[in-house]
Structure 1
Amino acid sequence: MKTIVYQSYRTHNVPDWISRCIQIVPRWAEKQGFEYRFFDDGFFDRVPAWFKQRVNHLVLPMSDLARLLVGQDLLNEGFERVIWVDADVLIFDIDQFRIDIPGTCAFCKEWWLGPNAKKKLQLYSRVNNAVSVFTRGSSVLDFYIESAQAFVRHKCSQIGHADIGTQFLSRLHALAHFPLLTNVGMISPWLLNDMAEGPGELTQRYMQHTNQPMFAANLCGSMVRGDVNAQNVERVVQQLLASHGAILNRYLVKTN
């Protein structure tokens, strides 16, 4: 199947750890026999002006729509399958990371570790688009594009960062039961800090709960704030690459 992997990120003031994440993806794509294409900020030119205005030019919802529209363009260009990978996704085991899900689309299974209303850390089951897959003729792609724009056009309140990303997909998944990738971890800030300092109890809890081997991870770049967090991300990136993910996968529950 003629496949292209595509990404986008700004080309100025790029954090070192983001650069490392991006540099790995074309290597992985080549190893899989896929083509690769990178888009700079011109990526957002594909988003309609009314949509940009309606979301107050928030990067995340604009990116959520742009990746769909550009993916549609690439399929129309002649590719049979498109794979989007967020710039803050680190593939730390290029030999083991695979996109082997059948069907016309796939998103990522997300286990989010974060505080609940009582400020206790809890794991939440969600769906995200950090890695998204569509094949030619996918009715899901067309529906996602149309319904996301309709949602933004008609929502009375302010559009949030995740309104047409994680929140939107999680609600749709409850009805549509999309195929999901389970080998892409979700490293929330709380989990990231635990990994940087240990890893410790939170990392063990996360992996034993998911109980799926991870070969890539979403490092939540939009939530990295300040020098301390940036240093922790750098440390975790180094640990994941050096261990090929063993700092996570060693906590998997062994079954007979």
Structure 2
Amino acid sequence: MGDELFDAVPAHLLKKTEEQRVIATDLARLSVLQAALERGYETAIWLDADFLIFKPAEFKLPDQGYAVGREVWVQHDKSRKLKVYKKVHNAFLMFRKENSFLDFYRETAERLLVQNSGPMPPQFIGPKLLTALHNVAVLPVMESAGMLSPLVIKDVLKGGGDALSRFVVNSDQPITAANLCSSCCRSGEVSSQEMEHLIERLLKEPGFILNARGL
């Protein structure tokens, strides 16, 4: 799916986000999911291209009408101490037919984009909006659909470490899939070779993170 992904994004919003295609993508995925449900599918799921299901037998969809992914982000603060940010993400999204959230989420995202007149962070209508809504309304979360920060990736590659330990302690369930944040390769935080090794390890040793609570 290439440029046609943006076909359902209103022209004025596509123009407004032309310098922030990540934001346009966050809106476009909602259109794709809505279209799938309108075509008669009982369940529509969005997975980012860098979302890896490394334990498919354990990756079971929840029974709720919709669900978002879990983000446990571990990074250094200004004092170089590890800090954990627990949020939700949209690298995994699931919506069932006649769910109560998708239309509201898209309408809210579009309204915020129209009203905004200043700079927008890349996660403006994605994880930031979802996390804000989650903090108020407690959205259904698929806890096993995680996300790995660069520090956690480094620890997975070396077989353990403080960042991975904090990730595990702050995860409500062991993850069976994760967004690997390929953008960290473009930023230089993780090399492409390290990313390849990460994927290889997760596929060959899927139980590593599942059992990491024992570290």
* TM-score, scaled to structure 1: 0.78
- Provide the aligned length of Structure 1 versus Structure 2: 214
Partner of residue 62, structure 1 = 24
Deviations 1:100-129 (A, max 9, x none): x23321101211112224342211110111
Relative to 1, partners in 2 of residues 1:227 and 1:129: Cα closer, same or farther, differing over 3 Å? closer
The one of 67, 79, 82 aligned to 2:44: 82
**Pairing 1:185-200 to 2, within 5 Å after superposition:** 185-200=146-161
**Pairing 1:86-97 to 2, within 5 Å after superposition:** 86-97=48-59
Gaps of 5+ in 1: 1-38
Which amino acid is the alignment partner of residue 243 of structure 1? E
Cα drift, residue 240 of structure 1: 0.4
Q: Any conservation in 1 of the 2:150–2:189 contact (CA below 8 Å)?
A: no
**Pairing 1:108-147 to 2, within 5 Å after superposition:** 108-147=69-108
Partner of residue 44, structure 1 = 6
Take 1:62 and 1:75, find their aligned partners in 2: how far apart are those partners?
20
Higher-RCO chain (CA-CA 8 Å, sequence separation at least 6): 2
Cα drift, residue 180 of structure 1: 0.3
Which amino acid is the alignment partner of residue 115 of structure 1? H
The one of 123, 128, 140 aligned to 1:162: 123
Q: Which stretches of structure 1, 4 residues or longer, exceed 3 Å deviation after superposition?
A: none
Gaps of 5+ in 2: none
Partner of residue 98, structure 1 = 60
Relative to 1, partners in 2 of residues 1:228 and 1:134: Cα closer, same or farther, differing over 3 Å? closer
Cα drift, residue 227 of structure 1: 9.5
Relative to 1, partners in 2 of residues 1:171 and 1:228: Cα closer, same or farther, differing over 3 Å? closer
* TM-score, scaled to structure 2: 0.92
Relative to 1, partners in 2 of residues 1:207 and 1:228: Cα closer, same or farther, differing over 3 Å? closer
C-alpha RMSD of matched pairs (Å): 1.9
Q: In percent, how many aligned pairs have the same letter? A: 34
The one of 199, 204, 210 aligned to 1:237: 199
